Each structure stands twice: as C-alpha cells, then as structure tokens.
Structure 1
Amino acid sequence: MRILILGGSGFVGRAVATEAIAHGHDVTVFNRGLRDPVAGAHLLTGDRTTPEGLSALTGGSWDAVVDTWSADAEVVAAAAEVLAGHAAHYTYISSRSVYHFDETEPAPIAEDAPLCALDDPGYAGDKLRGEIAAERFGGPLLLARAGLILGPHEDIGRLPWWLRRLERGGPTLAPGPRDLPLQYVDARDLAIFVLGAAAAGLTGPYDVVSEPGHTTMGELLDTANAVTGGHADLRWTDPQTILDAGIAPWTQLPIWLPPGNLHAFLHQGDTSRARAAGLRCRPIQDTVTDTWTWLSSLPGEAPQRADRPVVGLDPALEQKLL
C-alpha cells in the first residue's frame, strides 16, 4: 500500500511508519520536520495547525491514511477534508478514554458503550471530537480506540520513568497489589493492527488493547527490575497506604491505579472485536526489554511531549513513605 502518516516521527506514528516500511509498504510521513523521519520514509513538511499548513498534501493520493492527532479537532477536520477523494481509507488513532466513566457501572467497556460528553474539555473530549471530525473524510473510516500505550519511543514517560527508577535501585516503592491486572497495548502491536485493518478496509470503532490481565503490576515491575540490572528492592505497599500519603496514582506512580471502578474502566475492557479482527499482543517481557534497549541507546533522557505533564514520584516523598 501507499500509506500517508500524519505525524510519523513521534511515538505511535513512528511505530506505524516503522512497521509499514518493514512490511514493504511505500510510506510518506507529514509533519513539521523537527525530528528525523524513519529511515525509508518520504517526508512532506508542513504545520497542520496553520491555514496553509496542509498544502504539501495537495495532489497526492494514497491507499491509506493514519492520523495520530490528539488536540484541537478542527485540525483533524481540515486534514480529513483535504484528503477526501485522495485516499481509499482513513484511520484515526483515538482512545478508550472516549467512553463515559460511570462510578456505579464498572462493567467491562466495549465499542457499544456510552460515550463521554461531546463538550468534555479534556483529553477524552478532544479524542471524541477528533473521531467526529475525521468523518469529514467521507470514506471508509477506522477509529482505533487504544488503551494504555507502551513501548519504545514512548514520549509520555510512564514506562521510561519506571525503568530509570529501577535502574537507580535501592528500596523502591512498588504499588500493590502485586497481582493487580494490567491491560495495555505495545505501540508496535497497535501499528500492526491498524495497517492490517486498513488493508482489509475495516471501518468503525475498535478497542485496541490487550486482553484483561495480559500482565500484572508485579510482572511489569519484576521484569523491568530484571532488565535494568536487578538493583531495586521492591517494597510492595498496599494502595490505601499510598493514597493516605497523598501520592497520586497514574501521574506520580505512572501506569498504576488502585483497585476500584476507575481501574476496572481502564483495565477490564472487552477486546473481543479487535482480537477477532487480528489484534495480537506481544508479552510484557518484549515490551519492557525493547523499551529499555531504546532508552539505553539515547544520549540523554527520553523525549517528553510538551502537551503532557511530566510523570514520576519525587525521591524525597518516596523515601518518606518507605
């Protein structure tokens, strides 16, 4: 296929470009040109947030488009309109955050679950408005609603923070319980799925994330500790003790959420539709090992998206609790 990736140099977009090239596709990436493109990709430059920023796309034609945008939905709409009639298929990388979170109904979420309010001012609303904006493409549209995304080139900082913390070693706060189930998707598996879905012409929403219990908090941290040298003494701590200390789940302790309805919302999703359509998720050992290999190869720290908060726990607060 001739594939156009809107983005293509960051985290998920880079994974899509890398996998597409590895599978023999002709890949074009469109972005501002601030980072080196994946080897073998054709680069078109432009700032899609400006009035004339999409001009480099004029006159092109592609079999498939993959759009990773996650902010102002009008930016998605503009690209979808420009590409209408110039591509055979459009994939918008969305999020399972678009579903309505109800404290009283922790039932497994699937593609037919109620959605959040369209005027939600946060990330969930941005993604839902992005889904609607992508409809201006006017052709086959796939909504890839990803869960927690991990893997090499992560620019949110969740798994990289844990790897650096465990590398530092010593007594380490490990948020329990050890058998807390986790549901996530490796960016490369997300990429492979959307490429296959585009080739097959799939449309509509798909929850692209591993099965519930694909790994656990214990397996994640034990694996990360092992690959970084085994320097950390994991001190497993019950959730209430952590919460009572004023430590925020998800941000100060990345990836972790205490047992409860919010954890169930994020980690007990029904993924049967995506699995039936070909989604396969590699083991946590591969995701952690490959992320550490990438992180170790960097001359400095991992890249950090400017539009996302820096995650991680202050060492003084961790030491105080321990």
Structure 2
Amino acid sequence: MKILVTGASGFIGGRFARFALEQGLQVRVNGRRAEGVEHLVKRGAEFVQGDLTDPELVQRLCQDVEAVVHCAGAVGVWGRYPHFYQANVGVTENVVEACLKQRVRRLVHLSSPSVYFDGHAHVDLREEQVPTRFSDHYGATKYLAEQKVFGAQEFGLEVLALRPRFVTGAGDTSIFPRLINMQRKRRLSIIGNGLNKVDFTSMQNLNDALFSSLLASDEALGKVYNISNGAPVPLWDVVNYVLRRLELPPVTRHMPYGLAYAAAALNEGVCMLLPGRPEPALFRLGVAVMAKDFSLNIERARRYLDYDPQVSIWTALDEFCQWWQGQRPA
C-alpha cells in the first residue's frame, strides 16, 4: 500500500510515517521543514515539500496513493480565528478535494478531543458528547474539519477520524516541555487539590490505531473514534514522575483553582492589549485542563478498530524522558 502522511515534520505525523515504513508501506510525506523529515527520507520515504494551503500542491501529493493520513494542522490555544480556520479547515478542504479528484480510496483524519473542552470536568466521554459551543478556536476548527471529512462520504471517499488524548513519547514537544521549563524557573504549581485524573495516549498505541484505520473493514468507516490508553491517571503524579526522571524537584506547591483562573484571565487580558498580542504564560483553558478530570470512552475504537492499547503511560513517559535528555546539552 502507498500512503501519504501530511504533517510528517511534526511529532505525530513523523512518528506514524516511520512506523508505516517499518510495516512495509510505501510512504510519501509532506512537511514545511525538510530537516524535520530527513530521518524518514533515509528510511525510504518520498518527501514532497510545500504548503498545504496550495491546492495544486495537494493534488500532486495525492497522485497514485491509496490512502492519506492527514496529521497536519495548527495547534494551540492562542491566536486569531482566521489562522486556525485556514490551517485546520481550509487545508483539510484541500486534502478532501485532492483525495476525490485523484481517486484516493481512504482518508484517515487526525482530529482532537479539544472539541469536547468546555472548562468542566468530564469522565468517560463518548464521541457524540460534543458541546454546543466551543471554548477556543482550535477545538472549533478541528470539529469543522471533521465535518468536511465526513461530508466526502457521499462522493465515495472512505473516511475515519481519530481524537487521541494527550499523546506522548519520544519526540513529544507539546505536553511536557512547557511544564519542565516552568518548574526549572520555580513557576509551576499544582492547581486545585491535585487529584484530577486524565487520559494519556502512548504514541505507540496511536500508531496502532492509525494503522488499523488504514486496514479497517467497511463497518468502521464514517465514524470518529476516541483514542487513549484507556486508564486515567492522576495528572500531577504523571508530571512529578517526569520531573523525577529528569532529576528535577517535584511540584509540591498548590494554587487554588479560582486564584489560578483569575490570574489566567488577567494574563490573557494584558496580552490582548500589548502590541502583537504575545502569547500568555497562563490560559484560562489551560488552568481548567490542569485541574479537572478528563477521560474518554474508547469502546468504539475497541469494537471497530480492534484497538487494544498495549503500551502503558509509564513506558511512554520513560521513552519521552530518554529522548528529552538526549536532546539537551550535557
């Protein structure tokens, strides 16, 4: 099978492209940074550099491939709506159109559980429990992108979408680096009582889910899937585990949720008024994420994708810590 992986210069896209090559697939990759995919090219991937906002480029990318795994997109909390819309919705529209015109058989779309975020605690969330209003531009545009993908079913494209939660492992640059740097500066505090349990996903488990999505039977098509390790863990135990592995002091200081939320609101307000609207160090949504229970029901993925997470969060954290230490100067 020949596949295209978008966003291959990023963490998830790059790790899956490598995994697909190891499984014997022919892999074409796209990314903005050539240096970010050198390791894939050395393993046999075909690299086509370019911006996915260019419809003609996307048409070329989709020529002669059987399936597309679409991992590219904008992430984050801070920024203007047009930026997130173009990167998450506009680009996905280009990918869908190219899949249809180039007769690609299947599109596997990487979405996000950020579509569920509303600032409240949630346990065992099912895929249909999407709020009527979204808390941020990222979640809103990721949900819109899903709708663009599922809208292509009526034209014969086989589609699936995955919403993996807190993906970590070697190469993760989004979850722990900011926390590590904050703790080095002694600016990290446990928000609330520190007992909130959340889901994580080992990158190795997500690789299995993405690969299964490429091979899944017809009954799996046209659905969105929650993906996680299926075993919520206390968030601050995880944070302190990583800090201990990196020989940093654990977080012991607590901050009341209300105080942290008010500080985040003030921080955001000040940054909105500053020239260039710099990104705040603390967000209201981030405060809620770090203080509230949040877990996903993964029974649909177990049933239709034969998803069975085998790699524990602790193994994934060990993998991340070993990689992180190898990236930093001695």
TM above 0.5, one fold?
A: yes
Cα deviations by residue, 1:61-94 (Å, 9 ceiling, x for unpaired)? 22x2100233421221122121225322111101
Match of 2:108 among 65, 70, 91: 91
Distance in 1, matches of 2:258 and 2:143, equals 35
Matched residue, 2:46: 42
Question: Deviations for 1:83-142, whole angstroms, at most 9, x for unmatched residues?
Answer: 225322111101122247496x95642022245459x87112211121122233731101
Q: Which amino acid aligns with 1:226?
A: R
**Does structure 2 retain, via aligned residues, the 8 Å contact 1:152–1:294?**
yes
Which residue of structure 1 lines up, in the alignment, with residue 275 of structure 2? none
1:61 corresponds in structure 2 to 65
**Pair 1:113-2:129 in alignment:** yes
1:30 aligned partner, one-letter code: N
Deviations 1:275-297 (CA, angstroms, capped at 9, x unpaired): 33314152232222222222222
**Is the 8 Å Cα contact of residues 205 and 229 (structure 2) preserved in structure 1?**
no
Per the alignment, residue 197 of structure 2 pairs with: 181
User: How many angstroms apart in 2 are the aligned matches of 1:210 and 1:256?
Assistant: 23
Question: Could you tell me how far apart the structure 1 residues matched to 2:115 and 2:250 are?
Answer: 38
Which residue of 2 is the match for residue 312 of structure 1?
Answer: none
Task: Supply the distance in 1 between the matched residues of 2:62 and 2:241 (Cα, whole angstroms).
Answer: 47
- Provide the rounded CA distance (Å) in 2 between the counterparts of 1:6 and 1:172: 34
Aligned to 1:160: 177
Distance 1:129 1:50, change over 3 A: same
CA drift of 1:42 comes to 1.5
Which residue does 1:146 correspond to in 2? 164
DSSP 3-state at the match of 1:60: coil
Mind listing any 5+ residue stretches in structure 1 that lack a counterpart?
301-322
Question: By how many angstroms is 1:56 displaced?
Answer: 2.8
- Residue identity in the other structure for 1:283: S
More helix by percentage: 2
- Kindly state the Cα deviation for residue 169 of structure 1 after the two structures are TM-superposed: 8.4
Give the direction of change, closer, same or farther, for the CA distance of 1:53–1:175 in structure 2 (3 Å limit).
same
Deviations along 1:149-181, one digit per CA (max 9) or x if unpaired, are 33332233x312233455x48796344534321
Shift of the alpha carbon at 1:238?
Answer: 5.2
1:178–1:93 CA distance, 2 compared to 1 (3 A): same
* Larger CA deviation: 190-199 vs 179-188: 179-188
- Report how many aligned residue pairs link the two structures: 289
Cα distance change on mapping 1:223 and 1:87 into 2, 3 Å = same
Partner of 1:131: 146
Partner of residue 242 from structure 2, selected from 224, 236, 239: 224
The 8 Å contact of residues 243 and 249 in structure 2, kept in 1 or not, is answered as yes
Within 5 A, what are the aligned runs for 1:284-303? 284-298=313-327
Take 2:298 and 2:182, find their aligned partners in 1: how far apart are those partners?
Answer: 31
Looking at structure 2, the residues matched to 145 and 244 of structure 1 have their Cα atoms a distance apart, in angstroms, of: 26
Deviations 1:200-231 (A, max 9, x none): 24321101123252x212421331122112x4
* Residues 1:174 and 1:142: Cα distance change in structure 2 (over 3 Å): same
The 1:179–1:100 alpha-carbon spacing in structure 2 relative to 1, beyond 3 Å, is closer
Specify the alignment match of 2:297 in structure 1: 270
Determine if the alignment matches structure 1 residue 234 to structure 2 residue 251: yes
Which consecutive residues of structure 2, in runs of 5 or more, have no partner in the other structure? 74-83, 268-279
**1:177/1:131 CA distance change after superposition, 3 Å:** same
TM-score of the pair, normalised by structure 1: 0.75
1:252 aligns with 2:282: yes
**What amino acid is aligned across from residue 68 of structure 2 in structure 1?**
V
Identity %: 18
Correspondence for 2:277? none
Q: Pick from 203, 206, 209: which aligns with 2:225?
A: 206
C-alpha distance 33-150 of structure 1, shift in aligned 2 (>3 A): same
